[in-house]
A and B are shown apart, each in its own frame.
Chain A
Amino acid sequence: MKMTQTKIDQMSGILFLLFGIIIWIYTRNFPDLEEGYPGPALFPRLIGSGFILGGIILVITPFISSKVTDDSDEKSHFSLLNLGKLVIGLFITGLYPFIQPYLGFIGSISLIGFAIGFLLNVKPWLAALVALSCTLIVYFLFTYLLGVPL
């Protein structure tokens, strides 16, 4: 799937516009200061307004700009297969808080490092070697040399 930068800008403009509106809606129940002056909602709302303004400009810029885009515009390529690999990478890393209490620091980090290496097409023995040695070095450095508990 290919997409021009102009299209990406317009799509992100719409997303930021919606995001700004969501911030305004989310903050409607935030309390005010005494005498009705704005309180904790003020800053998020100002930021939300910034998103709305920025989003609108991103959406309308291609229409008011004299530059002809579509054909000459840089195209970005989106691949569903690679996106799947990305999700797997996120899933693997996200396992750390779950497996650390059971496997400990060395076991869990080595396992994650190995899996990430495998995902990056590194030979399994090399991925295991790098993951384990890196984990051991980090563990020694943090725990014994720098006194930071892991």
Chain B
Amino acid sequence: MTSFFSWEGLAALMLGGLYGSLFGAIPGLTATLAVALFIPVAFFLDPVIALPAIIAISSVAIFAGDVGSAVAKIPGTPASAAYLEELYNLSRRKTPLYSLGISAMGSAVGGMIGTIILIISALGIAAVARNFSSFEYFWVAILGLSAGIFASGGSPLKAFISLMLGLLLSTVGVDPTLGFPRFHFGNATLLGGLNYIVAMIGLFGFSEVLENIYQNQKGSDTQTLTTESSSQQFYTQPLLLILKEKWLVLRSALLGILVGFLPGAGADIGAWVATSVQKIKQGGNTEKLEEHEDEVILAGTSSNNAAVASAWIPALALGLPGDTVTAIVLGVFLMKGITPGPLLFDQQPELLWALYLTFFISNLFLLPFYGYLTARLAAKLINIKLPLLLIVITTLCIVGAYAINNNLFDVWIMMGMGLLAFILKRGGFPLPQVVLGMVLGPIMEQNFMVSMIKSRWDWASFFERPIAIALMLITLAILFFGMYYRKKMKQS
């Protein structure tokens, strides 16, 4: 614990937060890439300094992904695509300081709830996670997709078709059962599949450029006038909203934790389910959704960062990565000769408490501090005249798509996605559902095929295990209440 409180330890946290905020805010750079590039440095550091630095990087980077959503409509993570429209619209209707304030404060509170749960029940939750087999994972993916249908706030049929498009895009490349190449059209680059970060940059960022070229817009002055000070907008108003909507925050954070600890795309599904539940509650009424955009953002962000903490539960307790960041962290553990698992709780309490403490520091200080700085920068960027901002967005789209794999072909993929988004927008088809389909497609297909092969194609096996049945019932409840509230709203 002494090395954690040394000046090196605190400097690692501060620099980690700064590094994470830079990475998260730039389209195409992700929390995973930030952590991966930090590994050579981590190798030479004491684990009590290296691991907290990684937590600081990932916590701040995941929040900073929302900066791209607010300024350029480019989400940093699939989870932030769940509330992209709301964040972008609110940033323009009010100010980015307010919208990103909700995002940062919601993330901070959600992250702290997630950390508390991590401390008190890591071993217990890990025991539940141990009971998850391919059947349960399949139902979790179905749950996420069902939530996605109602998360658009528009036509569920169009959201369904968008999901199908995302699922189809996820089948590009080698199939998980026989290793058979699908939809690669003779191009070796496509054998590895489509990267969803590249797809997101095209779907949300480049499509905006195309849209504005097509509309021939000269751009309006988006300068927002407000009498409140920047700290009031960033801290006071979002905190008041959190106090007013405390049950929403708690519910969303718990959803994030409950779904987020599952290895794979837990955090993403958690955010989608949380925003979807909030939108279902608002009944899919577009006017009402506009009035309550801040609540949708709050639901998504508090779930998002709660899941960041809960992704560490299987990593610490079972040695199973909850997401790509914790997968890298497990590598660092092994590099340092630390074996994760139940014994870690007895043998390395100092390390564990340093990790817990970092989660609190990241959420209590780093997120509000770096969040405020990035939000102020976003507030400046958003006031740049639109055509000039579009030049910057085009540059970032090309660089972001290329930098992911250092592959020039990805620039064309990004452009193709931009064109697809442009066409889908004309038909009123929602775009975030395409990303959700791309993220959940491989999880659903792989677990479905594994389940079917091991049960020798006995369909009943999907309905035999208690957790699988519970997940199926939750899915049915989401579908039922989603339809019910939509019908009720149409009638009124």
Contacts and interface: CB of A to CB of B under 8 A. Distances in A.
Interface string A84-111: 0110011001101100100000000100
Nearest to B163: A50
Interface string B64-76: 0000000000000
B395 interface: yes
Interface string B393-435: 0111111001100101101100100010010001111000000
A146 B29 contact: yes
A89 B209 CA distance: 9
Main secondary structure of the interface of B (DSSP, over half): helix
Given A43-B171, A47-B167, A120-B390, A141 B22 contact: yes
A89 B210 contact: yes
B178 A138 contact: no
B429 to A, nearest CB: 8
A12 B429 CA distance: 10
A97 B22 CA distance: 26
Interface string A28-65: 00110100010110111001001100100110010000
A119 B412 contact: no
B171 A121 contact: no
A31 B181 CA distance: 11
Interface string A1-15: 000010011001000
Contacts of B428: 5, 8-9
B478 to A, nearest CB: 18
Main secondary structure of the interface of A (DSSP, over half): helix
A100 B408 contact: yes
A83 B392 contact: no
Contacts of A140: none
A79 B216 CA distance: 11
B412 A94 contact: yes
Nearest to A149: B406
Q: Number of contact residues on B: which range applies? A: 35 or more
A31 B180 contact: yes
B489 interface: no
A23 B429 CA distance: 20
A58 B157 contact: yes
Contacts of B412: 94, 97
Contact of B178 (A31, A57, A112): A31
Interface residues of A, number: 62
Contacts of B402: 96, 150
Given A93-B206, A112-B398, A134 B391 contact: yes
Contacts of B164: 47, 50-51, 54
A134 B445 CA distance: 42
B157 A44 contact: no
Interface in B132-179: 157, 160-161, 164, 167-168, 171, 175, 177-178
A-B interface, 10 closest residue pairs, ranked by CB to CB distance from nearest: A40-B175, A97-B408, A120-B387, A40-B180, A50-B164, A89-B213, A12-B427, A54-B161, A117-B391, A86-B214
7 contacts: A31-B178, A39-B180, A40-B177, A44-B183, A58-B157, A89-B209, A116-B209
Interface of A: 5, 8-9, 12, 16, 23, 26-27, 30-31, 33, 37, 39-40, 42-44, 47, 50-51, 54, 57-58, 61, 76, 79, 82-83, 85-86, 89-90, 93-94, 96-97, 100, 109, 112-114, 116-117, 119-122, 126-127, 130-131, 134-135, 138, 141-142, 145-150
